[in-house]
């Protein structure tokens, strides 16, 4: 099998590096969903608590895991001893996230500060490790260019989050500006920019679409940086340039997907459609309401839907790729790694959660999307774990007889 241009799979890290982060992300999302239901039943649910369940527990772990794979494959930035370095990253991020989450839930400043400190240490270690490798190569592709900026933004966003935690304890002033930088840079500089940067490669490669205009894609991180700086100022419609840029990116992505050359049915395509429709709606809320709960909830739908769809596609590919290269006697087809019925059910639940969130002001019962969130995160965890364990069962590295 030949691989698309721009990919070099000879330096891909061991399967356990990516799958370890992905499995952790799914299990943390499921654990967070259970805590979300419990917090609702006990009237202790807060926006910061809910926000970090998805942005850190799910998105951050998934994205760092994906970058350990993408840096050598897409950008040619090889990380030496990836298993050891990924484990250090995982070991810092996991207790940091758990302490932060329980700090929000229990209103415990000591747990919050300890969690923020560990989490920022993990973010700094991982992002600087990756930036160190990336800065040694010239960015010839929009994806590697965007990843550089995204890693810089997550470093800034993580530091501003740590400063926000310090300000809650009265150690420093200016809580609002730290919080604003934290939200802008983590949601748009990190999550949105990384998804966009990956889109520049993945949309054309997976769905056989027209390429994004190169001038636009290479300069997108600079445009986003200017828009983020503009959004830091306090005046009416200061978020308009950022919203317009994000809105245009969502539109151009949807246009390419709708006009794709390959019309073969692909379930992951529907995750992309749904997520980018959420993104269009989210930025409209951002313009008129700022960072209120309506924008946050819809923005969460955007990236959690997309990550769910991509994870269900990436794990089967990695299982097939690694087993093929290890000379396994039995290499499953990618369609056999995760049951298609489970993928269909995940897609159906993603649509149902989306509908329930939009109808929340009418139905007024937050337990409905919360329970469906638990169901989706459980199914995703089951699918990813089952697919990953298939690799470990068939791999000659772990079972010499195979």
Give tens-digit pLDDT for 41-69: 998 889 999 999 999 999 999 999 999 99
Q: What is the pLDDT at residue 260?
A: 87
Please say if the pLDDT value at position 9 is more than 60.
no
Read off the pLDDT of each residue in 338-345 and give the average, rounded to a whole number: 94
E strands, 4-88, are none
Q: What is the pLDDT at residue 191?
A: 98
Read off the pLDDT of each residue in 354-361 and give the average, rounded to a whole number: 91
Question: Cα–Cα distance between 149 and 59 in angstroms, integer?
Answer: 17
Please say if the pLDDT value at position 360 is more than 80.
yes
Q: What is the pLDDT at residue 45?
A: 86
Please say if the pLDDT value at position 155 is more than 50.
yes
Read off the pLDDT of each residue in 181-202 and give the average, rounded to a whole number: 96
The model's pTM:
0.94
Q: What is the pLDDT of residues 257-309, one digit of tens each?
A: 999 877 777 788 999 999 999 999 999 999 988 888 899 999 999 999 999 99
Q: Provide the token pair at 70.
A: 């993408």
Q: What is the pLDDT of residues 102-116, one digit of tens each?
A: 999 999 999 999 999
- By C-alpha distance, which of 32, 95, 116 is closest to 40? 32
**Residues 6 or more apart whose Cβ sits within 8 Å of residue 384:** 19, 22, 23, 26, 311, 312, 315, 338
Q: What is the pLDDT at residue 2?
A: 39
**Helices 142-168 & 193-207, crossing angle to 10 degrees?**
150
Most confidently modeled range among 29-38, 139-148, 236-245:
29-38
Share of the chain above pLDDT 70, in %: 96
Please say if the pLDDT value at position 236 is more than 80.
no
Question: Cα–Cα distance between 17 and 34 in angstroms, integer?
Answer: 26
More confident residue, 267 or 149: 149
Place of tokens 């895991």: 65
Question: Cα–Cα distance between 198 and 194 in angstroms, integer?
Answer: 6
**Centroid of chain to Cα 25:** 10
Q: What is the pLDDT at residue 87?
A: 97
């Amino acid at each position: 099998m030949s691989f698309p241009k721009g990919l070099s799979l000879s330096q891909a890290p061991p399967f356990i590096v990516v799958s370890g982060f992905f499995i952790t992300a799914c299990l943390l999302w499921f654990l967070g969903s259970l805590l979300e239901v419990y917090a609702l039943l006990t009237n202790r649910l807060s926006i910061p608590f809910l926000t970090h369940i998805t942005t850190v527990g799910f998105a951050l772990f998934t994205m760092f895991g994906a970058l350990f794979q993408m840096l050598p494959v897409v950008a040619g930035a090889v990380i030496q001893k990836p298993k050891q370095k990924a484990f250090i990253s995982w070991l810092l991020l996991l207790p940091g996230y758990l302490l932060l989450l329980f700090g929000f839930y229990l209103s415990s400043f000591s747990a919050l500060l300890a969690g923020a400190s560990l989490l920022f240490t993990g973010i700094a270690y991982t992002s600087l490790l990756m930036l160190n490798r990336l800065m040694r190569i010239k960015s010839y592709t929009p994806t590697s260019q965007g990843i550089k900026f995204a890693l810089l933004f997550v470093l800034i966003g993580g530091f501003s989050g740590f400063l926000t935690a310090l300000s809650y304890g009265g150690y420093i002033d200016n809580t609002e500006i730290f919080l604003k930088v934290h939200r802008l840079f983590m949601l748009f500089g990190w999550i949105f920019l990384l998804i966009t940067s990956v889109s520049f490669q993945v949309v054309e490669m997976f769905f056989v679409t027209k390429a994004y205009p190169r001038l636009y894609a290479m300069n997108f991180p600079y445009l986003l940086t200017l828009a983020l700086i503009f959004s830091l100022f306090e005046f009416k419609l200061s978020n308009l340039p950022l919203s317009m840029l994000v809105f245009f990116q969502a539109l151009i992505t949807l246009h390419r997907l709708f006009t794709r050359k390959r019309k073969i049915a692909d379930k992951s395509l529907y995750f992309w459609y749904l997520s980018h429709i959420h993104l269009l709606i989210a930025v409209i809320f951002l313009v008129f309401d700022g960072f209120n709960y309506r924008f946050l909830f819809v923005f969460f739908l955007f990236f959690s839907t997309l990550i769910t769809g991509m994870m269900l596609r990436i794990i089967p590919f990695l299982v097939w790729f690694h087993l093929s290269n290890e000379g396994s006697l039995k290499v499953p087809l990618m369609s056999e790694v995760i049951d298609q019925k489970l993928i269909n059910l995940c897609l159906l639940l993603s649509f149902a959660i989306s509908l329930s969130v939009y109808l929340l002001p009418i139905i007024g019962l937050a337990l409905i999307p919360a329970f469906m969130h638990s169901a989706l995160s459980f199914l995703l965890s089951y699918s990813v774990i089952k697919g990953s364990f298939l690799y470990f069962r068939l791999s000659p590295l772990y079972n010499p007889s195979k």
